[in-house]
Amino acid sequence: MLIILQGQDLAFAQIAQGARVDGATLPSGLKVPVTPGFKWIISGQVVRCIEEANNQTNVQAELPE
């Protein structure tokens, strides 16, 4: 799934390359959806929906001993 960016959203995309934007409202007022199991990433002139790997996490699940 893709959202093709236009106008003021393109200027935003230039500084936000690689950013995850699930549920964000873009400068044009367009709301990026939240899709369970997927993530929305700014890539070039589009927002791309890609499957989220289950093993990716930013939180350490267990404390080291």
pLDDT digits (tens, 9 = 90+) for 21-43: 999 999 999 999 999 999 999 99
Q: Considering the chain, what is the average pLDDT of its residues? A: 87
Is the CB of residue 9 less than 8 Å from the CB of residue 26?
Answer: yes
- Residue 12 scores a pLDDT above 60: yes
What is the model's pLDDT at position 61?
55
Is the CB of residue 12 less than 8 Å from the CB of residue 26?
Answer: yes
- Residue 17 scores a pLDDT above 90: yes
What is the model's pLDDT at position 56?
54
Note the pTM of the prediction, 2 decimals: 0.76
Per the document, the length of the chain is: 65
Long-range contacts, stretch 35-43, CB < 8 angstroms, 24+ apart:
35/1, 38/1, 40/3, 42/13, 42/16, 42/17, 42/18, 43/17, 43/18
